Structure 1
Amino acid sequence: MTALADGWVVAKRNLIKIKRVPDLLIFSTIQPIMFVLLFAYVFGGAIAVPGLNYREFLMAGIFTQTVAFGSAITGMGLAEDMTKGIIDRFRSLPMSRGAVLVGRTTSDLINNVLVVAIMAVCGVIVGWRTHTDVLDVVGGFLLLFLFGYAMSWISATIGLSVRSVEVAQSAGFIWMFPLTFLSNAFVPTDTLPKVLQYVADWNPISAVVAALRDLWGNSPEGTAAGSGWPMEHPVAYSLITIAVILAVFVPLSIRAYRRAASR
């Protein structure tokens, strides 16, 4: 309980930073909105999705990409705190050592909620609609945020393992781009070469995107929905993936924090 209470204090400190520097929220929102407009109005007319308006197909992918890319903020924030000596100040206080990681990931989760809320409004404006009941819609957003939270722990491990903010930024994005684009986020996987199609169908990003489309009633027809066990059970596969990420990277982040704080 001490770690959670202290973690909330650290989270509030990070959220106050967003309040005082609103550019952080503004620019983290502009990029996903640009992706929505670009794919909806520039590429959307050239991409056919069986039985579905492309804009409804697109939004689950954009939401998932946004929280995945947004997780990089965790690593950069921790790397910045390390270089500025703030972590040393925290160590001198009577607070739980886990509070820094809990607070950082919690504040970035709240930031994701704000960004996704703005994006949802943008999506409705361009034509995105859900076709299921309220519980399924809410369940989709909860799954999305849980995935974003798990990805933040990967980013935390990266941010605590490097020695500068610039490296944390590069290392946080360099693996995210192929993971996101080699998926069903923007195009059906049945349009890919056979080998890439298999990889994309087992990609955790694809599972989360497919789960959101199922929960929101935005799934395409036939083979465009993907194949294999992950695409047939996207919610279950997504939850398994999230559990594995947390089980692996929470301990790794804690160990990386202890090692970095002792440097």
Structure 2
Amino acid sequence: MTVTGRGAEPLPVEGEPRGPRAWAGRAGWAVADATVVARRYLAHLVYKPDELVGTLMIPVLAVLLFGFVFGEAMGAAMGVGGEDYREFLMPGLFALTMAFGIGNTTIAVVTDVGRGVVDRFRTLPMAPSALLVGRSMADVVSALVDLVVLVGMGLLVGWRWHEGPGSALAALGLLLLLRLAFTWIGIYLGLLVRGPEAAMKLFSLVFPLAMVAETFVPTEVIPTWLAPVAEWNPLSATVLACRELFGSTTVVGESWVAQNALLMAVVWPLVLLAVFVPLATRRYRKLGR
């Protein structure tokens, strides 16, 4: 038996088992609560599929515009044909979709805060971590759906992976890891800002992050003064690593980060998680005080 307080960890009652068994019980309780919260968020996709469609519109339009309308010109700037450019482009669009998820997460969290959903959850006898962890779990599942749709579209326009299913799954794993890190950035921003309008303004900052990277063109054709920013962009590491794992057309730069893209595709998300998980948790605990 446990006694819980508003937004507090369960307090052990006299006679309750302690030690590893108690810790395992609390961990299982927290996972179960987080799963329930995640299912609640995912149910919204069933009743409001327009949110999923809206998320996919930008990358789908980017496939059509940059793959076919501007593909030949951009491919020529790189010294490749339009079909090879689409091979180059698709991993960048996969990562771009993961980055745009920051906006969806921020708006969803700030909406829940504004409507009092977060306060109602905090009064329930549930694990304090469940709301934030459940939100991140739901966003990763939603991102997986996004990737399945985009991979299907990529196959339709001639994109293929060339290094076998194991490497392809590893690339998808890196993309989901990046999305998990961006989810916690979105959670923190959603707890920080005061309304959806402010969240939309913050979302505009994602565009420079997405464009000054290896998403559409290699850093070799980016202005020299912007090249270091693009090379050290977390998005670039994941894009380069995915192109390597997919066996897509790529131009690998000579910088240290470009030569170690696989390593940095793991390090960058872990660094972001190490920064934003504590920030989001601390901000969540301060709500309502």
TM-score (norm 1): 0.94
Counterpart position of 2:122: 91
- Asked if 2 retains the 8 angstrom alpha-carbon contact of 1:225 and 1:231, the reply is yes
What SS does structure 2 have at the residue aligned with 1:93? coil
Residues 1:30 and 2:57 aligned together: yes
> Following TM superposition, by how much is the alpha carbon of 1:142 offset from its aligned partner in structure 2, in angstroms?
0.5
Aligned-partner Cα distance in 1 for 2:282–2:209: 26
* 1:59 pairs with one of 90, 93, 112: 90
Higher RCO, Cα 8 Å, sep 6+: 1
What SS does structure 2 have at the residue aligned with 1:194? coil
Note the residue ranges of structure 2 that are not aligned, 5 or more in a row: 1-26
Aligned-partner Cα distance in 2 for 1:116–1:232: 26
Counterpart position of 2:288: 262
> Following TM superposition, by how much is the alpha carbon of 1:17 offset from its aligned partner in structure 2, in angstroms?
1.2
- Structure exhibiting the larger radius of gyration computed from Cα positions: 2
What SS does structure 1 have at the residue aligned with 2:225? helix
Question: Which structure carries more helix by proportion?
Answer: 1
- What is the Cα-based RMSD across aligned positions, in Å? 1.3
Deviates more, 1:83-92 or 1:191-200: 191-200
What SS does structure 1 have at the residue aligned with 2:226? helix
Deviates more, 1:44-53 or 1:5-14: 44-53
- Residues 42-88 of structure 1 show CA distances to partners (whole Å, capped at 9, x for unaligned) of 11010123467000000011000001101321111110110001111
* Amino acid in the other structure paired with 1:231: A
Aligned-partner Cα distance in 1 for 2:126–2:49: 28
- Matched residues, number: 258
* Amino acid in the other structure paired with 1:90: F
* Amino acid in the other structure paired with 1:247: A
Superposed counterparts of 1:1-263, under 5 Å: 1=27, 2-48=29-75, 49-50=78-79, 53-171=84-202, 173-220=203-250, 224-259=251-286, 261-263=287-289
* Amino acid in the other structure paired with 2:230: A
- Residues 142-172 of structure 1 show CA distances to partners (whole Å, capped at 9, x for unaligned) of 010110111110111111001112212221x
- Residues 78-132 of structure 1 show CA distances to partners (whole Å, capped at 9, x for unaligned) of 1011000111111111011111111111111111111111111111111111110
Deviates more, 1:160-169 or 1:58-67: 160-169
Aligned-partner Cα distance in 2 for 1:50–1:56: 14
What SS does structure 2 have at the residue aligned with 1:138? helix
Note the residue ranges of structure 1 that are not aligned, 5 or more in a row: none
Identity of aligned residues (%): 40
* Amino acid in the other structure paired with 1:215: L
Deviates more, 1:50-59 or 1:185-194: 50-59
Aligned-partner Cα distance in 2 for 1:107–1:72: 15
Aligned-partner Cα distance in 2 for 1:73–1:5: 24
- Asked if 2 retains the 8 angstrom alpha-carbon contact of 1:113 and 1:145, the reply is yes
Question: CA 1:12–1:200 in 2, change beyond 3 Å: closer, same or farther?
Answer: same
- Asked if 1 retains the 8 angstrom alpha-carbon contact of 2:85 and 2:249, the reply is no
Aligned-partner Cα distance in 1 for 2:127–2:103: 24
- Asked if 2 retains the 8 angstrom alpha-carbon contact of 1:8 and 1:103, the reply is yes
Aligned-partner Cα distance in 2 for 1:164–1:227: 43
Question: CA 1:227–1:87 in 2, change beyond 3 Å: closer, same or farther?
Answer: same
* Amino acid in the other structure paired with 1:198: P
Aligned-partner Cα distance in 1 for 2:57–2:204: 20
> Following TM superposition, by how much is the alpha carbon of 1:246 offset from its aligned partner in structure 2, in angstroms?
0.6
